[in-house]
Structure 1
Amino acid sequence: MSDRTFLGTGGVERRQGRLCRLDLSAAAHPVTTAREWARSVLSRWQIGSPLDEDVVLVVSELVANAMMHAGAVRELHLLWLDRRTVRIEVTDTSRTAPSPMQPRRGRPGGHGLVIVRTLCRSWGTVPRAAGKTVWAELVGSWQPGA
């Protein structure tokens, strides 16, 4: 098995132990590609609990935010930090740090980082030379392979 798997939806996946990377720079539909890829990774990790849906939701929100506010997303990482913690990292092309908005009741928009803050133990931003990485960590009570 090679260390690269080409996905039909435009992404390239690289696996390194407990770190899986997806290049989204050429994906035609980055949010859909990221969501489907995250489900595939979580299935291989045999998480199989409510945490997997939370991870997919946070992936969707972070990639959508990168597309909306930065105009492009470069890469998505999923890291299995320990038996209960998954870290999501989304790298985009903007150096501007995300700023949570006050969502307006009954109106779309402004809910992404509120969802991330609600579901995640912690989240933050790391500046990069040509953009930034927004990360979030989720903790569950699942046992891998159970």
Structure 2
Amino acid sequence: MTTHPAQSEHDTLRDERPPAAATGRETWWMPGPDGFAACALSGSARTVAEARRFTRATLDGWRMCPRLADTAVLIVSELVTNALRHGAAAPAGPAGPPAAGRFCHAWLALTRQDRGVLCAVSDGGTRAPVLRPAGELAESGRGLQLVNRLSDSWGWTPPDHSGKTVWATVMARG
């Protein structure tokens, strides 16, 4: 995944509250007038819900079709859950903030494409995701199965000492 250089006032990270998020604390996020939006994910109990709200608000702002947005929100929910569960390199301490000077546990980025959206979640984990069959009575382990079924394509960057990015694309139908 390539980086998005800050070249204009619209491309810089801002200390603002994401639309529709009334969490009472500030979050770093990047609005997306040019088809790119990103936000830091803290790893708190509300993180997955905040990622869903951020995704919905961003895709609504881009006027993406509701069906595509619904699918993207579900995919983001699974990717963020996996990043927080399996990819956090520096877990939060008992007080909550990430340890070892890390700003956040993960990043969520959305990129508008011609007829769809690319959803990408970066974390500090150094293990590649594993698509595995879930047992019929298993209580977890179906996240990547959902991503695989709902996305048009998905994959990940090769993990290294800085972590990895898991991504999925969703295209509009019809």
Q: Calculate the TM-score normalised by the size of structure 2.
A: 0.73
Q: Which residue of 2 aligns with 1:108?
A: 139
1:141 Cα deviation (Å)?
Answer: 2.5
Q: Which residue of 1 aligns with 2:57?
A: 40
**Matched letter for residue 130 of structure 2:** S
Q: Does the 8 Å contact 2:83/2:106 carry over to 1?
A: no
1:12 Cα deviation (Å)?
Answer: 1.6
- Tell me which stretches of 4 or more aligned residues in structure 1 moved more than 3 Å: 25-28
Larger C-alpha radius of gyration, 1 or 2? 2
Instruction: Name whichever structure is richer in helix by fraction.
Output: 1
1:47 Cα deviation (Å)?
Answer: 1.6
Quote the Cα distance in structure 2 between the aligned partners of 1:27 and 1:12: 14
1:95 Cα deviation (Å)?
Answer: 1.2
Quote the Cα distance in structure 1 between the aligned partners of 2:44 and 2:138: 29
In terms of mean alpha carbon deviation, does 68-77 or 37-46 score higher? 68-77
In terms of mean alpha carbon deviation, does 31-40 or 17-26 score higher? 17-26
Instruction: Name whichever structure is richer in strand by fraction.
Output: 1
Q: 2:168 aligns with which of 131, 136, 141?
A: 136
| Equivalent residues in 2 for 1:62-81, closer than 5 Å | 62-71=79-88, 73-81=105-113
Q: Does the 8 Å contact 2:152/2:169 carry over to 1?
A: yes
Q: Does 1:56 align with 2:73?
A: yes
**Matched letter for residue 68 of structure 1:** R
In terms of mean alpha carbon deviation, does 64-73 or 35-44 score higher? 64-73
Q: Which residue of 2 aligns with 1:98?
A: 129
Q: Which residue of 1 aligns with 2:27?
A: 11
Report percent identity of matched pairs: 33
Q: Which runs of 5+ in 2 are unaligned?
A: 1-8, 92-104
CA RMSD of aligned residues (A): 2.2
1:26 Cα deviation (Å)?
Answer: 6.5
Quote the Cα distance in structure 2 between the aligned partners of 1:30 and 1:59: 11
SS in structure 2 at match of 1:97: coil
Quote the Cα distance in structure 2 between the aligned partners of 1:114 and 1:5: 35
SS in structure 1 at match of 2:51: helix
1:5 Cα deviation (Å)?
Answer: 5.4
Q: Does the 8 Å contact 1:27/1:33 carry over to 2?
A: no
**Matched letter for residue 102 of structure 1:** P
Q: Which residue of 2 aligns with 1:124?
A: 155
In terms of mean alpha carbon deviation, does 91-100 or 40-49 score higher? 40-49
